[in-house]
Chain A
Amino acid sequence: MRAILLIVAILAIVAAPMAAPWLQFVLTMAVAKGLAALGVAVLLRAGMISIGHAMFVAASAYGVAFLARAGIADFGLLLVLSVVITGLAGAVVGAFLIRYRAIFFAMLNLAVSMVFYALFAKLYGVTGGTDGMTIPVPTVFGIVLSEPTFKAVLFYGSVALMVVVGLAVHRYLDSPLGHALSAVHTNEVRLEYLGVPVWAVLLVAYVVSAVLAGLGGAIAGFAIGRVVPDFAFWTASGHLVLVAVLGGIGGVPGAFIGAFFLELLHTEAAAFTDAWNLIVGAALIGVIMFLPKGLYGLLTRSEVSAK
């Protein structure tokens, strides 16, 4: 039942831009944000909240921009390399940060992300400062594409990537490593008594989350055609957590449900109100207080009652 629902949803996403072409950009961004939010959601499973993950979104987008400037023009190569770089950055930052829990984990992520932000913003000669860097239209398998064609390729590629990555993360969360993650949340010490190296479990999770944020960042960068330091600002990190929680961290689709819901609602709401943050903030508080499993929880709950 749920699987069918998800497939229908994906088909609807694929078909939407044919009816309304401007939706293509909005939906591409929704996939990008969903991927990044999924990264945050992975850590939330272990009860670890990061208000700094936008740094990996930015790192990857800047990675693409720098690699493109260095002469790499192929889409696939740019994507893979920038995500690998982000993964490495995640491993370095993670190795240091996973020692901390709770508020300290959240704040240290914030601290590191603000260093990233400030460096991106201040190194005018290298990063273009607050003007950011251009991300040119890349070639795809050696073929030079026009901008609209590339954006179409990017959109369908992103949706495909969302499905593949979503399945992979689902497998990961269902593996012993993934279950150990939830166990960190409930009882970390018992996990250690059982001989499970908590630091390894968390480091893997941190790198996975950085890679997911990196994927999102690269896609967002390609879609916008530019990367600016604001990608890494703390409110951007806050929004990633918000998307994850709004959608629900109970399963992989939650992050994407949150992202699509917010992006589409934003596009609609922008037409008649500019109190967007107020709406989102109130929705966030409402969901936390009354819908602890997020919007995705609505889906899963209805399935239980259907049984």
Chain B
Amino acid sequence: MRLSEKKKCSIAIGPIHPALKEPIQIEVKIEGEKVTDVDFALGHVHRGIEWIGLRRNPLQILYLAERVCGICNISHPLAFCTAIENAANIKVPERAEYLRVIYAELERIHSHLLFLGVAAHELGFDSILHYTWLVREKVLDIIEYLTGNRITKAVLMIGGIRRDITKEQIPKIKETLKYYEKIYKKLCDIFLDDPTIKLRTRDIGVLTKEQALKLCIVGPTARASGVKKDIRQDFPYAAYADLKIEAITPATLLNEIRGDVFDRVIVRLLEVKQSMDIIKRCLKEMPEGPIMYEPVLQKLLVELKQVSNEGVALVEAPRGELIHYIRMKNSEAPVVWKIRAPTYANMHAIPAILKDCQLADVPIVVASIDPCISCANRAIVADKNNIVLNQEKLHELSVKKTLALTKDKVKGEGND
């Protein structure tokens, strides 16, 4: 009733809201349907990961770093490893650098497909949500085939990588890439040509190039506004310097940049293709050689304990620039460990892009910066005969599935 008198009304989106699966609180002041003012607050599930990390040794931190984010569980350990390798002056073998790129790009494909589904869901277009998540299963399967786990892969190690990709595994990766090439056109058709999607995303939530630069926006969100920031292109890490990567903007496809939600979708769609090409190149150009700087972890730990230096690393996570800073001081645990995830930077964009939107646009506009949403797991609660599955049974089933995927590999290997 109040609203009809054109009085301002305040609506809280989050920390618990069907549109946002993660606890960010966005408070929008509305006049009728129009958003007039936006404020946000973070920290609802501050886990103190950095604080915990300062009480653990680098190898233990690696596991923590993987659990910073359910989706970027290659990017975080990769940034952490690169930072500590920088501090300890460790040279990573070339083959490991290539392997790191492959895993990071597989992660990007899976993250972007997840985003496309979420974006469709925010628009109420659940058929596309289910389609994109269905095709996302393929990349999760290949990740499981290569690493033994779908989500938390635990393949990175300081000074290298823990699992090699063997010659026998390559055909299966290529098969997956072929599958994605096949469905990529269909995905493009859905997102580029569907009239209702266009109606809801074109010229909505515009972030101008100047705003993006001023607010230090990173990743696909910045690129959609025409800022060619891409750490993979700008700053050599892992094997990206060899691969001549070019930052993707909507102009790659459409010859114009508007910086709206549609552009952010396009950039991510194009990056799926880019990632596929990168993986293909890596498989072709990957050199032979060792994959670890120091395979004996005890020795590695001793070496790291003697380090008294600081290191910093930039990594292009699926959502943008990720930075880890670490300082070691002749002790087992580091004295500083600072993580800055991309969403932390991109949150600055939210008041700017929500201004003058309608309330109905809020979910899709917020989702368009792809705030890092914890990963959906694959828990099946009941099977076809309505037998409730408990944790042990689920674990047993998932081990069985992994073994079925990797049946030519030695049983019991890895972290199953």
Are A and B physically bound partners?
no
- The residues of B with any CB-CB pair to A shorter than 8 Å are none
- The residues of A with any CB-CB pair to B shorter than 8 Å are none
